[in-house]
Amino acid sequence: MSKTEERYELNKNLAQMLKGGVIMDVTTPEQAKIAESAGACAVMALERIPADIRAAGGVSRMSDPKMIRGIQEAVSIPVMAKCRIGHFAEAQVLEAIEIDYIDESEVLSPADDVYHINKRDFKVPFVCGAKDLGEALRRINEGASMIRTKGEPGTGDVVQAVRHMRKMNSEIAKLTSMRKDELFEAAKQLQVPYDLVEYVHDNGKLPVVNFAAGGVATPADAALMMQLGAEGVFVGSGIFKSGDPAKRAAAIVKAVTNFTDAKLIAELSTDLGEAMVGINEQEIALLMAERGK
Amino acid sequence: MTVAVLALQGAFIEHEKILSRLGADVIELRQAEDVKKSYDRLVLPGGESTVQGKLLKELDMYDTLYEQISGGMPVLATCAGMILLASEIEGSDGHHFGTIPMCVRRNAYGRQLGSFHTDAEVSGIGMVPMTFIRAPYVAHTGDGVEVTAQVDGKIVGVRYKNQLAFSFHPELDDDTRIHEAFLKL
């Protein structure tokens, strides 16, 4: 195995260690500590959580490295950070400060409306959003070592994450049931290389870990996504936009571990305080999931 | 033979696949009623030790598992699992099970850029592939702890009574000899 291939394997391996866990958006070292002690398996360091990015409008960019470093020093779990789609210079900066995972994210304003980052050029791993199988495999082909749904961030509305997860599952099921000689045409339709299509056909899953992201606000939301096949959950605005972040965070962590135990989830959902207010999909002007395809 | 795999968080499915392939019956431990089931062996997988340690306590699984391990049940612990077994964790006042007298250093190789793959000797088994992901190593061991693997002079494998602990992830490579040795304990 070449050094590059070995690094890619190690990066996919880190995502495997995050499985069954909850990755939480945090904006300060204090929030990072709350997230860690509530049981987050990693934190996403960003200046503003998606709900506030949405409210503030304007161009949103990579966070100040000083703020990210502060969070790296505050916790022992992996720290992720976002760069803009296509902004490989921001990604280089994040690699330079030894971030554990980069999220090339539609939550920030895209820097390139055609090209995504060539993630194969980096040693540090990338997670990317995908609405369907084609998008997921295109990102993987560019070097992403983890995929997440592209549920509409900052809305507290889980409908899009559900839609993406179901779409991905049904497309994977369809590929799995195809004859091998039909895969060439499938690769053409999906606009992805044949070997990735063949992998999905043979294994019935993506070649990397797949998390749910976008609009998860309650323990039941997290359980829903896990039952739909997510291998873990990102929670963005849902925690620190709620009435009692520490309690809600801990409840979501337990719901992900025991996602089929409705009795436990009933208990976990009790007295959580106010959930984030949320905006329905139809009420929003800017669909972030449409950024980068 | 039934092997229970702690399935709170992390790479537990990878262990389950290997164990099933080797002919063991596998059950998952996710909550209090699971740990009361009948099983002969225990696997503590990789993942985040802070998450696993917290959930063990909050889901009322800790006491029963602690009794099983200190009562001599064979255990295979990898990465985060090794941290769960250590009696001392550098930079921290507490420990989790603490059933192996040793001190571990968490994230001892740094962040993800420090993760690496190598081949090295495990005593009694031979050369095995080793994948280290934000791995710990053992800073020092107490009485009765046998060092089973070292990489660059750092302790990455130990055995104490029936407990096998490694800082790398045998569940991520194709070589199944460590799992085979565990099933023979």
The count of other CB atoms within 10 Å of the CB of residue A193 is 14
Q: Please write the tens of the pLDDT for every residue from A228-247.
A: 999 999 998 889 888 899 99
A46-57 average pLDDT score:
85
Give the residue from chain A lying closest to B9, CA to CA.
A20
Average pLDDT of the segment spanning A82-89: 98
Give the count of beta carbons closer than 10 Å to the beta carbon of residue A3.
9
Q: Does B161 touch chain A (CB under 8 A)?
A: no
Structure tokens at B51: 């998450």
pLDDT tops 90 at residue A165: yes
CA distance linking residue A192 with residue A133, whole number of Å: 10
pLDDT of residue B147: 98
Q: Whole-model pTM?
A: 0.95
Please report which confidence band the pLDDT of residue A85 belongs to, taking 50, 70 and 90 as the band edges.
very high
Asked if residue A53 has pLDDT above 90, the reply is: no
For residue B90 the two structure tokens come to: 């550098």
Q: Write down the mean pLDDT value for chain B.
A: 97
What percent of chain A stands above pLDDT 70? 99
* Alpha helices, H only, chain B: 12-21, 32-35, 49-58, 62-70, 80-85, 177-184
ipTM score over 0.90, yes or no: yes
Burial of B110 (0-12, 13-18, 19+ CB in 10 A): exposed
Angle of helix A194-203 relative to helix A159-176, nearest 10 degrees, comes to: 90
Residue B98, Cβ density class (10 Å: 0-12 exposed, 13-18 middle, ≥19 buried): middle
Q: Determine the Cα–Cα distance for residues B27 and B16; give it in Å rounded to an integer.
A: 8
| Residue of B6, B9, B33, B60 to mutate for A, most A C-beta atoms under 10 A | B9
The set of residues, in sequence order, having a beta carbon less than 8 Å from that of A66 and lying 6+ positions away, is none
Mean pLDDT, rounded, for B74-89: 98
User: Which pLDDT value is given to residue B110?
Assistant: 96
* Residue among B109, B112, B116 with most chain A CBs within 10 A, to mutate: B112
Active-site positions of B read: 79, 169, 171
Res A50: pLDDT: 82
pLDDT at A190: 96
pLDDT of residue A241: 85
User: For residue A233, what is the nearest residue in chain B, using CA coordinates?
Assistant: B9
pLDDT of B21 strictly over 80? yes
